[in-house]
Amino acid sequence: MEFSVNLRRSTQFVVQAEASLLNFSMVGLTGPSGAGKSSLLRALAGLESYASVRGQYNGQSLTRCRIGLVFQEPLLLPHQTVAQNLTLAQRYAGDNGMSSSYLSYDSVIANCQCEHLLAHTPAQLSGGEAQRVALARALLNQPQLLLLDEPLGALDLSTRSAILSWLKKVAESGLPMLMVSHDVTDLWLHCQSLMFMNNGSIELHDVPGEVINTMYQRHPSATGQHVAVLAGQPCKETGSAGQLTSFECEGQLLCTRQPLQSPDRATLNVAAHEIVLDRAFTTPLSLDNTFMCEVEGISPVVDHQVNITLKRGKTRLYAMLSQAALARLALTEGDTVRASFPA
């Protein structure tokens, strides 16, 4: 898919974005509020009459494609029940050429966890329930391409990750998705590639880890608590560690409590405040994981704190230290340290 969008929102703000996505299933889109992400999605879906949209998907002009959009707000029709909302979308469904049964009515309702909501009216739903119904409704319309504008923000963590994992499978089975999100972990775990949008244009487009790292370096204050995702091949014999899964990352053995993303991919999210650094590599620690790595960068001091970027191979970690701790450890760029963190 390729697209080029030009949309003048005001004299100061113009969305001018282009990208070319090859063989993609799930692509992330992130950036500060007001960067133009929602405008871009609306323009791609054909909802901005003043936008000039050019592009093609599967050899077909974008303006002729069935492009679904899940809005930030659920926007369920209030005069209909949940079941009627879903039936309406189904009645106007097209043929997106997907042969798998992922988007059958029963599969969508079950995976979006809407079975028990069918008889309710939208006014009776909680924010998260309404978002799940809105997602189900968009999927039942059988689009060829699905745009998701922070579709699951109101869901609890475990439901969200279950639905996202399922969506990823749907995307891989032939319904490509472009997802806007501010959640670094979601983007990292579920997207093949990530676009970073700022001031109306797409500034970065790369694998999620690289884009997120550049975001952290360029906009340290806007991005909040830094999080890294470590990933690797799970080891076969994991029974001894109880619920923990061992996996190998940059030649070092780590363990995680998180469910496997796929049989050959284990992941571990590590937030900056969870990391303990030391330079005496022999002391045993109560933390489950230790990871040898090099100091790649040290941020300027803000509020007596510094962000340290750590790297080994292609894997990065982010640690947050007080100014005093930085002085105690006498860290400089290029030093090898031991990072310890929970599983």
Interface residues toward another protein, by CB under 8 A: 42, 45-47, 66-69, 71, 73, 75, 77-79, 88-89, 92, 94, 123, 138, 141, 143
What distances in angstroms separate CA 290 from CA 12, 62, 175, 227, 239, one per listed residue?
49, 49, 39, 17, 20
In single-letter form, the type of residue at position 202 comes to I
CB of 79 to another protein, least distance (A): 5
CB of 89 to another protein, least distance (A): 6
What distances in angstroms separate CA 242 from CA 232, 270, 341, one per listed residue?
19, 20, 18
The closest alpha carbon to 6, from 204, 201, 203, 205, belongs to 201
* Residue 301 near residue 259, CB atoms below 8 Å: no
Q: Which is nearer to another protein, 143 or 200 (CB)?
A: 143
Q: Which is nearer to another protein, 36 or 208 (CB)?
A: 36
Q: Which is nearer to another protein, 64 or 273 (CB)?
A: 64
SS3 337: strand
Signed CA dihedral, 324, 229, 256, 332: sign only? negative
Q: Which is nearer to another protein, 3 or 216 (CB)?
A: 3
Q: Which is nearer to another protein, 77 or 301 (CB)?
A: 77
Q: Which is nearer to another protein, 97 or 313 (CB)?
A: 97
The closest alpha carbon to 44, from 18, 75, 78, 8, belongs to 18
CB of 84 to another protein, least distance (A): 10
Residues near 309 by Cβ (< 8 Å), separated by ≥ 6?
Answer: 213, 216, 217, 295, 296, 297, 298, 299, 316, 317, 318
CB of 66 to another protein, least distance (A): 6
CB of 67 to another protein, least distance (A): 7
CB of 12 to another protein, least distance (A): 20
